[in-house]
Amino acid sequence: MTVPARLHRPARRLALLASSLLLLGALSGCEKTPAPSFKSLDITGAEYARQLALTDASGQPFQLSSLKGKVAVVFFGYTQCPDVCPTTLTNLAETQRLLGPDGDKLVGVFVTVDPKRDTAALLKAYVGAFNPNWVGLRGTPEETAAAAKEFKIFYREVPGKTESSYTVDHTAASFVFDPQGQVRLYVRHATPPADLAADIKVLLSAR
């Protein structure tokens, strides 16, 4: 005896309901973790600022990969800069202080855009005045230009009264790399140290 089709409807409805519930469960399990919220500009995944290979103030080859496990803040400037550079490094030192016990996980990396005047000894003394554990980097004019291009940094000599008294106009932003060595943040000049410290804490907590 054939069972009428209408008698199968409740079973079909239950099956459809069960399938819907399973689908909803699967979708909820695939929800992405919310992206972290930063006060600086999030440039995660940027196709620039991926590498930096120059010479440190001790004359040794340096690569960003050597700082994995720490947060690195990279800034391009020069030692005779009258305002932007000392202000940036002073704020970075304050950021490090605000991090408390995590301060030793932050490394400042200062790249000179004036290798003609910034000798290794001068660079070491200048960066060391802010923190002796930070890194000062220099290269040949060609290497400096290549590094600046990789980071989309602008710089240009501005003639002074004498041949050696020129100043250098340059981009005043910093770049923050996470403990995995990936560029994550673009930090505008004069960002409050408390804001930068908050961003760095987010990166450290995500390890």
Strand duo 71-77 + 167-170: pairing: unpaired
What CA–CA distance (Å, rounded) separates 137 from 36? 31
Q: Which residues pair with 178 in a beta bridge?
A: none
Report which residue type is found at 113.
Answer: V
Q: Which pLDDT score is estimated for 33?
A: 61
Task: Give the single-character DSSP code of 40.
Answer: S
How do the pLDDT tens digits run along the chain, 207 residues long? 444 444 455 545 544 544 554 444 444 444 566 678 899 999 999 999 999 999 999 999 999 999 999 999 999 999 999 999 999 999 999 999 999 999 999 999 999 999 999 999 999 999 999 999 999 999 999 999 999 999 999 999 999 999 999 999 999 999 999 999 999 999 999 999 999 999 999 999 986
Structural fold of domain 41-205 = Glutaredoxin (3.40.30)
- Is 170 known as a binding-site position? yes
Vertex 202 angle, CA 201 and 206, to 5° = 115
Domain regions of the chain by residue span: 41-205
- Is 85 known as a binding-site position? yes
Q: At what angle do helices 84-98 and 193-205 cross, to 10 degrees?
A: 50
Contact 116, 80 (CB under 8 A): no
